[in-house]
Amino acid sequence: GKGTIDLTSEPLLEAPVILVFARAALAQTPALLDFEDLPPGTPVYNQYPGVVFPGGDASPSPITIVAPPSGTVSGTQALMAINRGEFSGSGISATFLEGQRRVKLSLGLVDSYFVIPEILAVLRGYDQYGNLVVESPIASLGAAPRAVDVPLEITSADGSIWRAAVTLLNPG
């Protein structure tokens, strides 16, 4: 299902994510998560105030800090989700402890995917009841390793983003 990770099969995709989020109450002072404070390989679940990465507490964790070889738009590290099992519909999500007005992040690839000509991604925002409230335009990551530099952003004037999910789409 959407947002679930099957840990029984081999990794098909690793999509590093840099997540920037602004608390609704502090929209003028956005909180930036640059993932520079933890060493590569560290599992990430709830170490950052105000945000939880569902599934990050699994063992082994599918969500870890990585230093992408191709670099990032800011800093040297990123958050990597190892999606196992079915490609289409996989991704990474973040749940916020209060509604957000803006969620902005960058995506990149650390491996090549010869079976897929182009990897597409979308960022979706959900309210506290799980209803879709906002969706970014679809972005192309290509299929070759690249820097974490593909921007995705969603906004909600009333701060109704309680969960943000990057979903990878199967082209065609």
Q: What pLDDT does residue 89 have?
A: 56
pLDDT at 62: 83
**Distance between CA atoms of 91 and 82, rounded to whole angstroms?**
8
Helix (H, G, I), strand (E, B) or coil at 10: coil
pLDDT score of 83: 64
> What per-residue confidence (pLDDT) applies to 151?
87
pLDDT value at residue 87: 53
Q: In a 3-state reduction of DSSP, which class is residue 131?
A: coil
- Exposure on the CB side of residue 90, measured as CA atoms within 13 A: 23
171's tokens? 């082209």
pLDDT (tens, 9 = 90+) of the chain, 172 residues, equals 344 333 333 334 444 455 555 544 444 456 778 788 899 999 999 998 888 998 889 888 888 888 888 888 777 888 888 765 555 556 788 999 889 988 888 888 776 665 667 888 899 999 999 999 999 999 988 877 888 888 889 999 999 999 999 888 765 5
Question: If we measure between CA atoms, which residue out of 142, 64, 154 comes closest to residue 105?
Answer: 154
Tens of pLDDT, residue by residue over 81-123, are 876 555 555 678 899 988 998 888 888 877 666 566 788 889 9
Of 79, 21, 77, which Cα lies nearest the Cα of 55?
79
Q: Are 162 and 127 in contact (CB under 8 A)?
A: yes
Instruction: List % helix, strand, coil for the chain (3-state, nearest 5).
Output: 0, 50, 50
> Largest Cα–Cα distance of the chain, in whole Å?
44
